[in-house]
Amino acid sequence: MDASAAVEKMSLRGAGACLVCKSSCSGFQPHSWRKACAACGCSTVDHAAPDGDAEDDQRMGRLLGDSPCSHLTAKVKGGGGLRVYKRNRMIVTNPVVSRKDPTFNTTTYDWAPAGLNQKLAMQYMELLPESQRPVSGTPGARQRRRHLLSQLPVYDQDPMKCQSLGSEDEVSAMILFVKQFKLEVLGVGEVGLPGEAGALKEAAAQRTAKEVKDRGDKAEAVQHQNQSVSRGAASSAVNGTDDKTEYRCTGCHRDVSKDSPVVYAERAGYHDALWHPTCFVCSECGHGLADLVYFWSNQKLLCGRHYCESVWPRCCGCDELIFCKSFVTAEDGRTWHPQHYCCWKCGQSLDSPCQH
Ligand SMILES: [Zn+2]
Ligand SMILES: [Zn+2]
Ligand SMILES: [Zn+2]
Ligand SMILES: [Zn+2]
Ligand SMILES: [Zn+2]
Ligand SMILES: [Zn+2]
CA of 341 to the centre of ligand 6 (A): 11
User: Which ligand neighbours the alpha carbon of 37 most closely?
Assistant: 1
Q: Which CATH number fits domain 154-305: 2.10.110.10, 3.40.50.620, 3.20.20.70, 3.40.640.10?
A: 2.10.110.10
Instruction: Kindly identify the ligand whose nearest atom is closest to the C-alpha of 275.
Output: 3
- pLDDT for 217 equals 61
Distances (CA, A) of 185 to 51, 202, 295: 30, 20, 5
Residue 325, pLDDT score: 93
Read off the DSSP letter of residue 356: -
For residues 101 and 124, what is the distance between their CA atoms, to the nearest angstrom?
31
Quote the ligand 5 centre to 324 CA distance (angstroms): 10
272 Cα: distance to centroid of ligand 6 (angstroms): 53
Q: Report pLDDT for 214.
A: 78
Please tell me the distance from the alpha carbon of residue 34 to that of residue 112, in angstroms, as a whole number: 33
Q: Name the burial class of residue 232, with classes exposed (0-12), middle (13-18) and buried (19+) by CB atoms within 10 angstroms of its CB.
A: middle
Ligand nearest to the CA of 336: 5
CA 251 – ligand 3 centroid, Å: 5
pLDDT tens digits for range 216-253: 765 554 555 445 444 444 444 444 446 677 899 999 99
Q: How crowded is residue 23: how many other Cβ atoms within 10 Å of its Cβ?
A: 7
Residues with CB under 5 A from ligand 6 (ion): 343, 345-346, 354, 356
Residue numbers in the chain where pLDDT is lower than 70: 1-15, 50, 99, 217-243
Please tell me the predicted confidence (pLDDT) of residue 306: 98
Residue-level pLDDT at 103: 83
Domain boundaries, the chain: 1-49, 53-85, 90-151, 154-305
DSSP structure class, residue 307 = H
Strands (E), 103-154: 103-109
CA of 44 to the centre of ligand 4 (A): 18
Of all ligands present, the nearest one to the C-alpha of 20 is 2
pLDDT for 220 equals: 55
- For residue 148, the model assigns a pLDDT of 95
Q: What is the CA radius of gyration of the chain?
A: 23
pLDDT of residue 212: 80
Closest CA to 124 of 72, 190, 76: 190
* pLDDT tens-digit readout, 176-206: 999 999 999 999 999 999 989 899 999 999 9
Residues 101, 94: Cα–Cα separation, whole Å: 14
Q: How far is the CA of 329 from the centre of ligand 3 (A)?
A: 36
CA of 356 to the centre of ligand 6 (A): 4
Nearest ligand to the CA of 29 is: 1
Q: Which ligand is nearest to the CA of 351?
A: 6
283 CA distance to ligand 4 middle (Å): 7
- The number of C-alpha atoms within 13 Å of 183 and in the hemisphere containing its C-beta is 6
Question: Which amino acid makes up residue 44?
Answer: T
Ligand nearest to the CA of 338: 5
**Distance, CA of 271 to chain centre:** 23
